[in-house]
Amino acid sequence: MPTLTEPSIGAPPPIVPSPPRGYGGGDHNDNTGDSKAAASATTVRIAVYIGMCASTMTFAALASAMVVRRGLNPMDWHKLPVPPLLWWNTAALVLSSVVLAMAGRAFRAGLRPRLRILWFTGTALGTWFLIGQAINWKFLADQGFYLRENPASAFFYVLTWAHAAHVIGAIAGLYYVTWCLLARPFAPLNRNVLEVSVIFWHFLDVMWLFLMAIFAFWS
């Protein structure tokens, strides 16, 4: 039964005795020019949190630009209809987040069959969200709301594209774990991917709810 043992956040890595080395300015770790030490689960998680901060700043910049642009020139701001499918998409994303959180619990409990079912379901819902977004873009284009049509539609496209770009990256992680669950023994590296995929997926979920609130109630 696979178990996950991780050092707590902030715990330092174990002491590794330094190999004898000269101050020749050469490669530091070995003479292959490569460093092979794999990052710990905690380190990977910290990196994902930092990445989430960077993504938050990107979305904050875009959302601020939207607020300022509308405030500076409200005359050319034409409200965009919220496509009905967008609500279903939102539901799918929230549900996928819940299911993936349950999958994470199953993983930690070592319940492999349950993990598989939950993970495949969460991944399928995430994929549905992405496909649904594409359908929404086509729906709006059919209604005559193009990128350059008015600033409200321009910001809608930009924000949803930026979110979808993040989702594509996250889904790649979900599919990688899916492939590992189906085809390979569960290696330590894959546990890292699983953990951070779930964390990042929750982040995208929260970010989407923020964007949805803007589209539905403000924009």
Partner 1 sequence: MEATTLIARPSLLRRIFSTDHRTIARQYFFLSLFAVVVGVCLSLLMRFHLVWPREKVAWFEAIWSVRAEGGIMTEELYLSLMTLHGTIMVFFVLTLAPLNAFANLVLPEQLGGKEMAFPRMNMLSFWITVASFLTLLSACVFDEGGPIAGWTAYPPLSAVGAVSGPGEGLGQTLWFVSIGIFCIASLLSAMNIISTVIECRRPGMSLMQMPLTSWNWFVTSILSVLSFPVLLAAGLLILLDRLAGTSFFVPGDLLIAEQHSPHAGGSPLLWQHLFWFFGHPEVYIAILPGMGIVSHIISNFSRRAPFSYRACVWAPVAIAFLGMLVWGHHMFISGISPYSAMTFSLITMSIGAPSAVLVLNWLGTAYQAVKLEFTTAMLFCMGFVSLFVTGGLTGLFLGQPEIDAYFHDTAFVVAHFHMIMGMAALFAVFAATFYWFPLMFGRMLDERLGKLHFYLTFIGAYALFLPMHFAGFAGNPRRYADFTNFDFFQAGMPLQRWITVTAFAMGAVQLIFIGNLFRSIFSGAKAGANPWNGPTLEWNADAEIADRGPYEYPDAGADAN
Kindly list the residues in this chain that would bind partner 1 in the complex (CB under 8 A): 10, 12-16, 18, 21-29, 31-35, 37, 39-40, 42-43, 46-47, 50-51, 53-55, 57-62, 64-65, 68-69, 72-73, 75-76, 147-148, 151, 154, 158, 162
Between 38 and 109, CB nearer to partner 1: 38
Between 4 and 62, CB nearer to partner 1: 62
CA distance 162 to 213: 16
How deeply is 2 buried, as exposed, middle or buried, from its count of CB atoms within 10 A (0-12, 13-18, 19+)? middle
Please compute Rg for the chain using Cα positions: 22
CA distance 155 to 161: 10
CA distance 166 to 168: 5
Name the nearest CA neighbour of 100 among 77, 83, 124.
124
Supply angle C-alpha 201, 204, 207, rounded to 5: 155
Least gap, CB of 41 to partner 1 (angstroms)? 10
Least gap, CB of 65 to partner 1 (angstroms)? 6
Q: What does the block give as tokens for 87?
A: 């609500």
Q: What is the DSSP letter of 91?
A: H
Between 42 and 121, CB nearer to partner 1: 42
Least gap, CB of 152 to partner 1 (angstroms)? 11
Least gap, CB of 187 to partner 1 (angstroms)? 17
Least gap, CB of 208 to partner 1 (angstroms)? 17
Between 31 and 183, CB nearer to partner 1: 31
